A and B are shown apart, each in its own frame.
Chain A
Amino acid sequence: MSERVKVTIDGISIEVDAGTTILNAARLIGGDIVPPAMCYYSKLEGSGGKCRTCLVKVSKGSDKDPRPMPKLIASCRTGVMDGMEVQNITSPEVMEARKGIVEMLLINHPLDCPICDQAGECKLQDLSYEHGSEATRYEFERRTFDKIDIGDKIQLHMTRCILCYRCVYVADQLTDQREHGILGRGDAAEISTYIEKAIDNDFSGNVIDVCPVGALTDKTFRFKNRVWFTKPVDAHCDCDKCSGKVTLWYKGEEVLRVTARKDVNGEVESFICNTCRFERKNTSEWTIEGPRKISHHSVISSNHYELLDPPAVIRKNPALKEANIEEFERVTRHY
């Protein structure tokens, strides 16, 4: 039986098991106070601490030692103490630092969202909408890399990478042999296979799901469609390699791609094998469970009219709002 400790984040208290990280405690509370995380992945051991977007301020260390921590700390890698008080969105210092981090992440990012398959489900896109500024102060050429081919299923765009190391952890922890890693140092560091070699492994496709940006995308889905035009449907199959629980992304009657199911934090529920991901693209191979619930904050749900809760951009414009209501009624009348 583990001990329970009390932690207060942005004035909201919660009791959690001792050893829980601040980030996970915040996720239990949920809502706006959850720090964004670009590199931490709860299902990958050792991940986190690198991107620094989840920095928070600890204004009180614990009941025993109430001193505040001198620096902002990475909430994904810091355990809670009993009586700890944490400031996230209530601390101007944290918001300022986070703005800085987002700027740093973006200065060398190509910002090629219009041609990026990740657009619409990209963590960096969300992050820059929330914390970024509209103009850049960076007046130099953006970093580029030599293109390398890592196989016929996975597309690597190194220029988009934020070096979160998630795909390295996936390869270490899910596959029997890691074929890629980080080469080089500093801002020349890159994901690569050292001696150019295809990544070919039963579970290597999961690097696509864990990649927070468009650095690793599905070649079988490449340029087929924008994610917000596709409809996610939960399905399962009897797979001898993985759980077989997936989300199918439909456009009309066609399955455009298969991914693992992602939870509210954007993390997969269970990893899937490459056969499910790349080979089974016929409805007949799956047992359909029903529509996948996508948070209405996501752009993916903006073309789905199950809820009359349009995105902010529509709410602010009376004409669009009117059109949205009409569309909503027209579509839902059939149900």
Chain B
Amino acid sequence: MPIQVLMPALSPTMEKGNLAKWLKKEGEQIKSGDVIAEIETDKATMEVEATDEGTLGKILIPEGTTDVAVNTPIATILADGESAADLAKAPAPAKPAAEAPPAAAKAEAPQPKSAAPQAVAEPDPEVPAGTEMVTQTIREALRDAMAEEMRRDADVFVMGEEVAEYQGAYKVTQGLLQEFGARRVIDTPITEHGFAGIGVGAAMAGLKPIVEFMTFNFAMQAMDQIINSAAKTLYMSGGQMGCSIVFRGPNGAAARVAAQHSQDYSSWYSHIPGLKVVAPYSAADAKGLLKAAIRDPNPVIFLENEVLYGHTGEVPKLDDYVIPIGKARIVRSGSHVTIISWSNGMTYALKAADELAKDGIEAEVIDLRTLRPMDTETIVNSVKKTGRAVTVEEGWAQSGVGAEIAARIMEHAFDYLDAPVTRVSGKDVPMPYAANLEKLALPSAAEVVEAAKAVCYR
């Protein structure tokens, strides 16, 4: 029976890709190991190698097709003795990816198919009415933010592992080397502690580094330089010497990479005076806040999320779209319960709000966007209106950001509460690898719905 070649998953979070080019024609002989096609993912262009021998029977997905779901059959290979007539025996192609076994596990992972927040109830105060919007991925928005700031200020440069020639491990720095050259887009050795320290030293000398960590899991190696050198020097020098630097990269759980590569560091950094901590969810916020972070004279921890990189959203087409650090945003208005989250936690929060609306519960959803300084006012004003609050985070509950929010609500709006503040968080275990366990370890929209109903006594 003819063999199907399926669209491969080339990274833990890949859901779809573009079939850029076929390198073999129908009827051509194929040996195991031959490169038969090129596939573009949002991260890179990869070659597809044949694992079977035979003749390329039929190309099912022509080159140039975009957004081909993982596990979609893209071609059939005929074994020796088979002919085109046998093609009919092949299973029906174009099976949706989400139903195929490996991708099914991913579909269960917390990845909204929809673009970044569509359900914006409140107009964005930073954007003038009538502004033209462009649809961008969060990855592109981040790249544009860096490029714009690098054009604006010659002291801004990017350093990190694979940021230049590889074009970014997650393709966030794509094209920067070509535009700005190797002097300002600098590949480092794998040496987080050392290059974080060099970045901080360069910032102390007045430059404005953007230090990319391939993921924040690896920034643990650099923790001393971030906390002891970057965050504290302004104070220890009596205001004389500061450090304008951005540490950025993906934070939190990706998909199926287990405990050492799946951790949310939101609460770690938000603990430290001297640091600012930003964690955007939408593409527009990713751009506007990264530009603000680069201009900020203080050290800023900019927490991105790998799962969100490929998600698209509307970004205002403005010459200089900068969002002030430290302001939360009410993404959806409601009067029954306040749901507070940030970064990928917003995925669960918004989905839950949709579900709750079906049951007549109108949730007000706040995207914190910045964790330090925290916009207590927006939270408290909302809770005064709703009397109930649920926090949603991927990190652990103990000493988490949700715990901090709950404390602030208690301090500032105790008399307005009609129910205890409830936390939805990552489970108190290291992240497991198995797909079902990973799903259980992360928060879910269902848990948010349950918590919201509980505080509404429903």
**A joins B in a complex:** no
